[in-house]
Amino acid sequence: MPAVTPSPSSQNDAGKPVTRRTSWAEAAAAADATKPSRAPAPTRTPPPAPAAPPAAPASTPAEPIASVPGTSRPGTAEPAAAEPARRAGGVAPEAAAPSSDTPSFRRSRPTVADTIAESPMPDFISSPGLFVKEQKPRPVGGFRGALYNLTGGAWNLGPGPKQRQEDELGRRISRQLQGSYNTAVLSLKGGIGKTSTTVGVGLTLAEYRGDAPCAIDANPDSGDLVERALGEGIYQQSSPRTITDLLENIESIDSLTALARYMHHAGRLHLIAGEQDPEVSDSLTAEEYLRIRKLISSYYSVALTDCGTGVTHNAMSGILQSADNLVIAAGYAVSGAKRARSTLHWLASHGYEDLARNAIVVITDKDEVSSRVDKDAIEEHLSGICRELIAVPHDRGVADGDLVTLDVLKPETRRAYKEIAAAIVDGYR
């Protein structure tokens, strides 16, 4: 920073000049005012010219020598740009500056940034498996399950074919539905497993589906749907509300909580009991059933309706009108097979061709018929006129006509109910 000359007025006494005090900003401004606008280019002393080589003999031609930038040789012309630079005390440029037309050199290998920019961005949201390796499902039972448990999961051979089939049935049953659907379970003959099928399939739906299913007892002949699901003792101790009580107060029901007062619960299976009074049990009309069905559709995505015996009672037209598919109950007895076929023919001839074509026929071996009955012939007799035919083996947990619980059923019976439930949900389109 340049020195600041004090003014005469700032001297306190003669002969002792006092430096003027100023702020840092004023000193910096003064320094900027005296600073040259452009610094001179640095110069360097040119190297001494090399001594001239001795003259070559006249008989020997002179060997050409490559010119060195910044020097001159005897007998050669100095570059035009070197003389003004030397006169100015500088040095001639060692090499000419590259022109704009000169191609520049690039790296042959791409950088990491170039690789990331050019590679497509993976979709980690829809493909979370990019972060982790796919894990095999845990095997249950059999040799695979025993090996898995013995090694603490270190050896996982995955599920076997049987378990994979069971898992596939579970996925079909638990399929998410858009809307509310109704399946009617009916038959022309009583005592062949209609109500037990409704309870077994309803409990299976409740086990695998995220939303609770509902079962409606629309049997005009004092149906026992709730007794088969809860047990007669528990039902007698519970609230005796029936479908008649629901109809009398249906206008005041505006929530699932209000509807629950007229429901019975077997685990996650919700049930509406049928009327037990013989004088009013056959009074349910088609219009009343449709009112109940409309109410149920607001809170349940899957409903099962136990229709009772026959297809001509008062509520049957409303049930068939609102049904999305049908389960036709049949038996291995000759009369049961014939009446199941008669039911399908009656539906097809009364305007329900689609329901008959997509019906699921369930043959329950309830009475354990003798070996004289050709079961294969009966199955072949019914399989060609329905969408699917499923056989339920003989099981005392079904044949006794009492409480139906999945825990006491045979594995074959539980699998049959799973196949029926999967077929029902497959029909919801």
User: Residue 394 is encoded by which pair of tokens?
Assistant: 């003989």
421 vs 406: CA distance, rounded Å = 14
| CB atoms closer than 10 angstroms to residue 124 | 10
Residue that has been written with the tokens 């305007």 in this structure: 351
Amino acid 93: pLDDT? 47
What are the tens digits of pLDDT across the range 109-154? 667 667 766 777 666 566 655 666 667 777 777 778 787 788 887 7
Overall residue count recorded for the chain in this entry: 429
Helices (H), 313-364: 316-322, 334-349, 353-357
pTM for this one? 0.66
| DSSP assignments along 73-125, one per residue | -TTSPPPTTHHHHHHTT----SSPPPPTTSPPP--SSPPHHHHHHHSPPP-TT
Which amino acid, 319? I
Widest CA span in the chain: 149
Q: Which segments in the chain show pLDDT lower than 70?
A: 1-110, 112-113, 116-117, 121-134, 233, 235-239, 278-282, 369-370
Residue matched to tokens 């004023």? 26
- H helices of 174-255, in order, are 194-208, 225-230, 232-237, 243-248
Q: In the sheet that 181-187 helps form, which strands lie side by side, from edge to edge? A: 264-266, 269-272, 214-217, 302-309, 181-187, 325-331, 360-364, 388-392
Residue 42: the pLDDT is 53
Cα–Cα distance measured from residue 274 to residue 244, given in angstroms and rounded to the nearest whole number: 8
